[in-house]
Amino acid sequence: MLIGELAARAGTSARTLRYYEQHGLVRASRDARGYRCYDDAELRVVGEIRSLLDSGFALDDIRPFVACLRAGNEAGHVCPDSVAVLRRKLAEVDGVLDQLHVVRDRLHTQLAEAIEERTIRCQMTC
Amino acid sequence: MLIGELAARAGTSARTLRYYEQHGLVRASRDARGYRCYDDAELRVVGEIRSLLDSGFALDDIRPFVACLRAGNEAGHVCPDSVAVLRRKLAEVDGVLDQLHVVRDRLHTQLAEAIEERTIRCQMTC
DNA sequence: TATTGCCTTGACGTTGGTGTCACGGCATAA
DNA sequence: TTATGCCGTGACACCAACGTCAAGGCAATA
């Protein structure tokens, strides 16, 4: 499978696949012309990468998951290294959630205040 | 008040204040040497900006709040334009929160799965 | 043979809020 | 006079995951 086909099948771009390879996540052999050749298994790898990116992982964090898949596991997250990253990320996401809830409440309060203010002014003038 | 003093009092840097000015948020007059002179009121403006930045607002979004303060209001969020931005940002934050909750659940599920997997394997081998 | 289409590498652009450096002016103190 | 310290502008560096353009090679097709 050439890079264009893998990109299309994985729903991404050739540029992206080269980027992943550059960062040691995706592997390819080369044909006589120097074109990248991909194993069918790479499709799953790319799928795993994109799924994890969607969850907010950085490429560096994704490496253990890919290694886990390559080791023959049915899923990328069942290996110890992956679990460690999962734990860290879960804690991180929880932190962001807490912080974001605080922000949300602040926004909500300010909005309520502003509306209250406007209501009072309206009662005075109307 | 010169830029260094305002920066210290506002808990930020001179570089940052120049950046805010460049983006039309902070105002300064100039003395004979060309140095920026700040009104005491600018301290509150800078405080407002930093508070909003902490809440995830972009500098462009903050402009109406500053204008509101300059118009003599006790708070930057009581003007219609500010309220509009507040509403938009609140919706945006709610969206991010929803998305982040989904991500969190996914992480949690994967983690639980991995631990389950390990437990089973341990029961088999131990 | 010229075109089309896929591939290659390399390198710069994007977003936003700064840090940091370069280079220079002005003023006060030693 | 020189050192110190504040200020000025301008411009590059950073992070991250790419998009996009340039310039070229190789192969099949018309």
Give the C-alpha distances (Å, rounded to integers) separating A57 from A64, A97, B114: 12, 16, 18
Contact A86, A77 (CB under 8 A): yes
pLDDT for A126 equals: 64
Residue B49 pLDDT > 80: yes
pLDDT for A116 equals: 83
Secondary structure (DSSP) of A18-56: HHHHHTTSS--EE-TTS-EE--THHHHHHHHHHHHHHTT
Angle formed at CA A106 by CA A103 and CA A108, multiple of 5 degrees:
110
The distance from CA B83 to its chain's CA centroid, rounded to whole angstroms, is 16
The shortest C-alpha distance from B123 to chain A (Å) reads: 16
What are φ and ψ of residue B30, in 5° steps? -120, 145
Could you check: is the Cβ of residue B45 within 7 Å of any atom of nucleic acid strand D? no
Q: How far apart are the C-alpha atoms of B45 and B75, rounded to whole Å? A: 10
Could you tell me the distance in Å between the CA of residue A50 and the C1' of nucleotide C6?
Answer: 25
pLDDT for B126 equals: 65
Per-residue pLDDT of chain A (126 residues; tens, 9 = 90+): 999 999 999 999 999 999 999 999 999 999 999 999 999 999 999 999 999 998 999 998 999 999 999 999 999 999 999 999 999 999 999 999 999 999 999 999 999 988 887 777 667 766
Q: How far apart are the C-alpha atoms of B23 and B108, rounded to whole Å? A: 42
Give the best residue of A51, A89, A110, A120 to mutate against chain B (max B CB count within 10 A): A110
Cβ neighbours of B101 (radius 10 Å):
12
Q: How far apart are the C-alpha atoms of B59 and B46, rounded to whole Å? A: 12
pLDDT tens digits for range B95-126: 999 989 999 999 999 999 998 877 887 777 76
Contact A94, B104 (CB under 8 A): yes
Confidence of residue B42 (pLDDT cuts 50, 70, 90): very high
Could you check: is the Cβ of residue B2 within 7 Å of any atom of nucleic acid strand D? yes
- Within 8 A of B68 by CB-CB distance, chain A residues are none
The secondary structure of B35-88, three-state, reads CEECCCHHHHHHHHHHHHHHCCCCHHHHHHHHHHHHCCCCCCCCCHHHHHHHHH
- Within 8 A of A56 by CB-CB distance, chain B residues are 103
Q: How far apart are the C-alpha atoms of A5 and B103, rounded to whole Å? A: 29
Could you tell me the distance in Å between the CA of residue A5 and the C1' of nucleotide D20?
Answer: 20
Helical packing angle, B59-70 and B41-54, nearest 10°:
150
Q: How far apart are the C-alpha atoms of B51 and B56, rounded to whole Å? A: 9
Contact A107, B86 (CB under 8 A): yes
Cβ neighbours of A119 (radius 10 Å):
10
Q: How far apart are the C-alpha atoms of B6 and B40, rounded to whole Å? A: 9
